[in-house]
Structure 1
């Protein structure tokens, strides 16, 4: 048995920043932090139902979120309240920064969705990324973001691909 009580769980606030402003902040349970890969679990933090057309996020959904200090993306496993896997939502971000009880991630607009059965792999928000001006302001970051989206799509397009990133 570990030195920590089984009933004690460490909480973090996940802070998603976009264009210099906090987009959303929500509490999450720390599942693990090996010094590079941080895993948290959180309930759907949005207000009510958000229907994207390809997936609905709703109260009761549980997100197991994976962040890295050396990768330009986050991978979020999405499950319904009954445990049914909905799929994976991936955010292209700058590498995560953990400071005390906060995990801060800067959203770079690009996203990717992979359905639970793997039949849908969708690149999202490429228009927002182009309009953000990041390519002009920070070409190196824009290049890293585009590479990250390509990498996520390649992993998502093969069986077990995104899951293999999580080990």
Structure 2
């Protein structure tokens, strides 16, 4: 993992192109280009297109070529929130990843995926906690109980935000 300075000194430049890297179990899971929308020194927001050339159908939502993600990454929170829009700019919903606080530097954003996720539909009616089985099987609770506890708290916080209608206001 690269060394990254956090805080306002490392704020990304609005309009610049950066890479977003999602790491899982010590390996790069996905890396894709994004454009910086804002960065206040605590939260960086980027805009990215669906990174794969194919459809990914989760059953509750389909991510498709042309979809746009407005992604919020915090330097001090254990989650990332992604507003998902289709090619016509209609909101599909919010996909939230439980991750370690983001490492943000001039060349991009790196987060470590901790397996837990949450989905909220655009109408707010559907809030789904995802991948709790993967989290349990990951071994993180034995390897790093403090991180596991942070991850569980983050998922609870995300669910509370979603059920209160607050994901759309981030």
TM-score (norm 2): 0.90
Q: Which residue of 2 aligns with 1:162?
A: 167
Whether 1:79 aligns to 2:85 is yes
SS of the residue aligned with 1:150? Answer: helix
Q: Which residue of 1 aligns with 2:4?
A: none
Q: Deviations over 1:92-114 (max 9, x none)?
A: 00000012212100000000000
Q: Deviations over 1:51-90 (max 9, x none)?
A: 0000000000000000000000000000000011100000
Deviation at 1:158, TM superposition (A): 1.9
Q: Deviations over 1:27-70 (max 9, x none)?
A: 00001111110000000002310000000000000000000000
* 1:57-76 to 2 correspondences below 5 Å: 57-76=63-82
* 1:141-152 to 2 correspondences below 5 Å: 141-152=147-158
Number of matched residues?
A: 157
Q: Which residue of 2 aligns with 1:115?
A: 121
* 1:28-107 to 2 correspondences below 5 Å: 28-107=34-113
Q: Which residue of 1 aligns with 2:143?
A: 137
Structure 1 segments unaligned to the other structure (5+ residues):
1-7
SS of the residue aligned with 1:105? Answer: strand
Whether 1:124 aligns to 2:130 is yes
CA distance in 1, matches of 2:19, 2:73: 13
**Which of structure 1's runs of 4+ aligned residues deviate more than 3 A?**
none
Taking only aligned residues, the RMSD between alpha carbons, in angstroms, comes to 1.0
SS of the residue aligned with 2:156? Answer: helix
SS of the residue aligned with 1:38? Answer: strand
Match of 2:25 among 19, 40, 47: 19
